[in-house]
């Protein structure tokens, strides 16, 4: 059952025409180019695409945590109507953890190995809400219990290395929601977990959306997770958005050849001894993108004159959009060639 919220006049998160450059000895412009999407209150939106397509970089821009040398050259990022790009670092620190939580892929590299997990969760409430150590610790225990960690009172004094991978990820979630944020950015939150724990984590996130109205921006490769958890999908390729659609519409009728290729490359049950379609070639190296459509060299429709020109995002019926001249003209996309 969809958890999509009722239509809202004002999106919670609005990313508009985002562009990111890399400065240094060799300036590389347009590594992220013309990226736009929104997340409504209580909604779950997925950023999908192959590795190197710019999903995590876009998420780090939302958090204000771009690596050294990377800068936002144009566009805007607004959270609750507040322009995050105009905020100072001190102002951003007041947003991160309070209005905007984050769950990262590897909890062991995100949790402080020298701090007990209870102190790490309580720290956010003490900094952002001004609670005393005693009150924040009691709330941390409630949060550990809320995310499904048994014997929460004892686990408060555990160090991250004393917990299993699934428990570490639950601690990360407890830390991310400690101050009741409006939006949680989850970057591959289930990749390192087995399928059973993965299902439990997704169910936990679903409950948090339902009970607390938290919106989720999910960065993932797992299309099964997207189909099960998300309301809308933003497909990225080579640093730009190539398609945006509701999850049901996208899986039923992908408009962009890249989206079709991604869906066709997912293994299907009940079809043994069949060759799996693959996308030939690789994502272009950052800064060495084709002049026209960035997917054109790998596209089964490559060579079309329309594909050699820069592509623009075109609105489609049903609040969808696509960055493909052929799709904008209503021409169908075909399956990629299956290798011998």
Examine the pLDDT at 7 and tell me if it is beyond 80: no
Provide φ and ψ at 37, rounded to 5°: -170, 165
- Residue 50 binned pLDDT confidence (cut-offs 50, 70, 90): very high
Examine the pLDDT at 82 and tell me if it is beyond 90: yes
- For residue 121, CA distances in Å to 105, 139, 175, 208, 291 come to 18, 9, 5, 17, 47
CA diameter of the chain: 67
pLDDT at 199: 84
**Structure tokens given for 83:** 């322009």
- pLDDT tens string 151-185: 999 999 999 999 988 899 889 999 999 999 999 99
Query: H or E element: which one contains 119?
Result: helix 117-129
pLDDT at 340: 40
- Residue 85 binned pLDDT confidence (cut-offs 50, 70, 90): very high
Examine the pLDDT at 334 and tell me if it is beyond 50: yes
pLDDT at 216: 95
- For residue 191, CA distances in Å to 187, 195, 219, 220, 223 come to 9, 9, 11, 8, 12
Which residues have CB under 8 Å from 300's CB, separation 6+? 257, 261, 334, 335, 336, 337
Query: How many angstroms separate the CA atoms of 224 and 222, rounded?
Result: 5
- Residue 23 binned pLDDT confidence (cut-offs 50, 70, 90): confident
- 28 DSSP 8-state letter: E
Examine the pLDDT at 29 and tell me if it is beyond 90: no
Write the DSSP string, 179-215: T--SEEEEESTTTTS-HHHHHHHHHHHHHHHHHH--E
**Structure tokens given for 169:** 């990820």
Q: Which of 39-48, 58-67, 161-170 has the lowest mean pLDDT?
A: 161-170
- For residue 212, CA distances in Å to 3, 20, 39, 130 come to 12, 33, 16, 21
Q: What is the pTM of this model?
A: 0.90
Greater model confidence, 270 or 43: 43
Q: Please answer whether residues 248 and 241 qualify as being in contact, where contact means their C-beta atoms are separated by less than 8 angstroms.
A: no
**Structure tokens given for 133:** 């150590």
- Residue 9 binned pLDDT confidence (cut-offs 50, 70, 90): low
Q: How do the domains of the chain map onto residue ranges?
A: 111-178
pLDDT at 200: 83
Q: Please answer whether residues 205 and 220 qualify as being in contact, where contact means their C-beta atoms are separated by less than 8 angstroms.
A: no
Examine the pLDDT at 1 and tell me if it is beyond 50: no
Angle between helices 133-146 and 165-176 (to 10 degrees): 130
Radius of gyration, alpha carbons of the chain:
21
pLDDT at 287: 78
Examine the pLDDT at 234 and tell me if it is beyond 90: yes
């Amino acid at each position: 059952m969809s958890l999509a919220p009722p239509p809202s006049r004002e999106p919670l998160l609005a990313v508009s025409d985002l562009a990111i450059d890399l400065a240094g000895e060799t300036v590389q412009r347009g590594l992220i180019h013309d990226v736009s999407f929104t997340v409504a209150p209580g909604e779950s939106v997925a950023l999908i695409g192959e590795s190197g397509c710019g999903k995590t970089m876009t998420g780090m821009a939302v958090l204000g945590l771009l690596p050294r040398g990377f800068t936002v050259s144009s566009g805007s990022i607004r959270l609750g109507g507040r322009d995050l790009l105009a905020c100072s670092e001190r102002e951003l620190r007041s947003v991160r953890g309070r209005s905007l939580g984050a769950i990262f892929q590897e909890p062991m590299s995100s949790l402080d190995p020298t701090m007990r997990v209870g102190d790490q969760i309580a720290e956010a409430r003490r900094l952002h809400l001004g609670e005393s150590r005693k009150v924040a610790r009691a709330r941390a225990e409630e949060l550990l219990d809320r995310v499904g960690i048994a014997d929460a009172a004892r686990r408060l004094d555990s160090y991250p290395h004393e917990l299993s991978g699934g428990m570490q990820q639950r601690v990360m979630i407890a830390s991310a929601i400690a101050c009741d944020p409006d939006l949680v950015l989850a970057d591959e939150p289930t990749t390192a977990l087995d399928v059973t724990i993965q299902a439990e984590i997704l169910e936990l996130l679903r409950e948090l959306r339902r009970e607390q109205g938290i919106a989720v921006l999910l960065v993932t490769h797992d299309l099964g997770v997207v189909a099960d958890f998300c309301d809308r999908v933003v497909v990225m390729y080579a640093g730009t958005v190539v398609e945006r659609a509701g999850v049901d519409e996208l899986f039923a009728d992908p408009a962009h050849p890249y989206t079709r290729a991604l869906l066709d490359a997912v293994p299907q049950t009940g079809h043994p001894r069949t060759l799996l379609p693959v996308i030939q070639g690789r994502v272009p190296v950052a800064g060495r993108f084709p002049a026209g459509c960035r997917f054109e060299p790998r596209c089964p429709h490559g060579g079309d004159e329309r594909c050699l020109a820069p592509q623009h995002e075109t609105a489609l019926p049903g609040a969808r959009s696509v960055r493909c001249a052929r799709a904008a003209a209503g021409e169908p996309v075909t399956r990629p060639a299956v290798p011998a």
